Amino acid sequence: MFRRAITLPFKLLGIPIRLDMSFLLILPLFAFLIASQLPAYVHLFAGNTSADNLTQGATPYLLGLIAAIGLFTSVLIHELGHAVIARIYGVETKEITLWFLGGLARFDDMPKQKGAEAITAIAGPITSILLAGVFWLLFRTPHNSAALAFVLGYLMTTNAALAIFNLLPALPLDGGRVLRSLLALRMPYIRATNVAGIVSRIIAILLGIYGLLNQELFLLAIAFFIYNAVTAETQYARISEGLEHLTVKEVMSTEVSTVYPDMPLSQFIRLMYYKHHTGYPVVDFEDNLIGFIRLRDASQFGENQEDPDLDTKTVADIMSKAETAFETDNALETLKRIASSQMGRFVVLNQLGKMVGIVSKTDLIKAIQNQGRSPTQTT
């Protein structure tokens, strides 16, 4: 879902860290908001210490920026807390993304062991509580800088708030994952997800009403986020349940239109408009698969009818390597692979390597993806 994100040039614990555009916008906004509330914060955390010099010139904005960076760094450490525990269960974290509502860790999969999801989920809030404790200790250490008292006090409070907020029993927040995982100890996973889903929607609605009445836009945004994410989550559980026991053979389409490598592009483009497929396997005269050609690869040539390339170039010039699945592969695993591939559709082979069908991103997969998030994410 984070298409416009930049990846940091270093990894943490071997995990790529990405900053979504929305994060790059929210960071200065946060800094500004904190700066505008600075006198109140300083009064709260530094008491009677003279703080006049903190509210002058650029100082409030600098302190605001430090506090905002500290807050998002804390969110990042919270996510790393999840990642460390998931790793113990043998699940790798693909990436951690910071965006305007906080952080998201994307896993290869959710830990499957009973109760493992709960332990992985609770690791985040525990990390935040530990961080709050560290800042509390530093805060309590005698010093007479009002600026330091403000930064430490702010991070102590926000980390505690982060832990408490994430413990709300609403999917995809950590508390919701704990709830689902505990329910799944006593009932089938799909039912556990549905029950947790109902609880999550109620919480999202209450949070939304509260946010609306108090004009807390941030809470309102979180309520929407939870509501949408929980819909995707329950859908995914249903789809997984449905596909888990199927093979690719049972879901593939056997009507495959193929093209030959020596077909001129002009002809291919006409075919494309006529058949409306997004891609075609390329086969030789003995029906052996030799590549795959996508609509996208050819579309750059279709714009100009006069383009001399249209008659001189052939399918072979612009085709890509085909991505394949075996007909005996598990349908759910294959659809996950398709979802994270560039191709959008896989050519299905039998055990002899002969092409027997094609399996594409179905509307179901679109439902999982477009609903906002891949289901294996945690806040």
Site residues for Zn ion per CB under 5 A: 124, 166, 174, 379
Phi, psi of 215 (to 5 degrees): 55, 40
Nearest residue (CB) to Zn ion, 166 versus 324: 166
Nearest residue (CB) to Zn ion, 41 versus 165: 165
Contacts with 162 (C-beta within 8 Å, 6 or more apart), sequence order? 74, 75, 78, 102, 125, 128
Rounded least distance, CB 82 to Zn ion, Å? 6
- SS3 (DSSP) at 20: strand
Q: Are 360 and 343 in contact (CB under 8 A)?
A: no
Q: Are 368 and 162 in contact (CB under 8 A)?
A: no
Rounded least distance, CB 86 to Zn ion, Å? 11
CB atoms within 10 A of CB 261: 16
**Cα 57–chain centre separation:** 39
CB closest to Zn ion, residue no: 124
Rounded least distance, CB 367 to Zn ion, Å? 25
Nearest residue (CB) to Zn ion, 78 versus 294: 78
Rounded least distance, CB 68 to Zn ion, Å? 19
What residue has token string 């396997």?
281
Rounded least distance, CB 242 to Zn ion, Å? 28
Nearest residue (CB) to Zn ion, 171 versus 325: 171
Q: In the sheet that 355-360 helps form, which strands lie side by side, from edge to edge?
A: 324-326, 345-349, 355-360
In angstroms, the CA 236 to CA 232 distance is 6
Burial pattern 327-344, b for ≥16 Cβ within 10 A else e, equals: bebebbebbbebeeeebb
Rounded least distance, CB 107 to Zn ion, Å? 12
Nearest residue (CB) to Zn ion, 266 versus 379: 379
Rounded least distance, CB 127 to Zn ion, Å? 8
Token pair for 355 = 């092409």
Rounded least distance, CB 117 to Zn ion, Å? 12
Rounded least distance, CB 1 to Zn ion, Å? 17
Nearest residue (CB) to Zn ion, 74 versus 371: 74
Nearest residue (CB) to Zn ion, 95 versus 174: 174
Strands 289-294 and 279-283: antiparallel
In angstroms, the CA 28 to CA 157 distance is 20
Report the candidate in 330, 329, 325 with the shortest Cα–Cα distance to residue 360: 325
In angstroms, the CA 324 to CA 76 distance is 36
Nearest residue (CB) to Zn ion, 231 versus 379: 379
Token pair for 66 = 């430090």
Amino acid symbol at 267: Q
Strands 93-99 and 102-107: antiparallel
Nearest residue (CB) to Zn ion, 166 versus 334: 166
